[in-house]
Structure 1
């Protein structure tokens, strides 16, 4: 197994440290699956390492990554996983690869492209596994007008997403595990509305205005159902 000294990138990631690689451990780790056949979160960290170190950043998109490279990624996963998870795991690696490229652009190119003194074509020293020629191709592509227009279009599209979750790399599966540990409930006992609310809760508590509107409707509906069922005064039970 390989170790990763930092967490995976997400769209809202502020910073990260360098990735380090150690010798592979020949002892395979067993990955557990929840009722939805999703692997445990410890696989996610390994997927992030694989995405950053084994997939060249010169590909324009994940769709253009060759089948040979994808198969190599699958064979490199050192965990005992369900063979049926191949598509799911490769999709997860692809997402982490895209997030990594976004981070590289935002951190080392976007805010420095207008600085005449900035040496954009020098690879970040924190990521020695990035080849100099690959970095030059990556930078050359990102400083074009065509890329800026594409990036702005994607940004405008994301701006219309009102109910984005804030779960970072752990996702819903990690959230379910947290709730199970905190409450002692089984996965089947956790209501989907609880997951929806928890996933969009701000770190400082509360919700964004758009999310708060939906949360209030959820609370109102749940309380009305409790009132009808038990014929009691409707108060906030949720």
Structure 2
């Protein structure tokens, strides 16, 4: 992606999707990697401190300090409490899904591509979310509900069963919804949004990805801008230091070349009258002659500037005189026209 001369809105959609997939994949791989280490190399050896003292042979690139900190975090009471809570939640789930991180919204977009023209309702999503890559449902309880969903869908198409609002096929198959959440659509969508709002107003998976990516890039841009500002300030301070050091070195050299050197001599003296160093040349040393030449050049520059200012003033005065002459000429012309009008009126 070009870093300059291109706004986010101008980047092609396919590139945006690739960016998000790369970002999401990096997060997933990082999360899965930590989960693998926890499940296979830490939790089975909680009572064997010797095996937890070094990183696994398979992952020798992990530094020991990081490994020790990671093991300590996984053996902490806080992690144990969270892990236990999640285990209890999983035990209570009757119909576990097999979705990836894209969730129901990603599954819906996928089915729209593979099943064009077919209405994808939440009962279809719920059933597909529990199938493996071969289309089978290993869990007997889930398979039983999936079969019931197929039967209800056929009865609806034949007109034997009527569905309306929240009383759709999935509700009939699984029972009433709990307040505040909705099965088969994923997080972030309430029953009111799903059953009340028209479908075009529902947030699609692509829109969610765009928004998440926009926020992520916005935060990253702010960090980069702040870092760039800090770097610019550091460079500015460093430049000032180098300039000051160079100036001090230059003044030191001048002090060695010119006896009784005064740094204030380097400042322009425009208000002073020019001096002729040749008048006292016989009585001046080499260093004094160089100093006088420097002052003479400064005076010449000052005189040249004064001459330019006088020339500008002279031009301004000439313009002012020309303007006054034009005004007088206009007044005479007006008086003449007025006299001609009076003569005409008298006649």
TM normalised by structure 1 equals: 0.49
Higher helix share: 2
Larger Rg: 2
Kindly indicate whether structure 1 or structure 2 has the higher relative contact order, using CA contacts under 8 Å at least 6 residues apart.
1
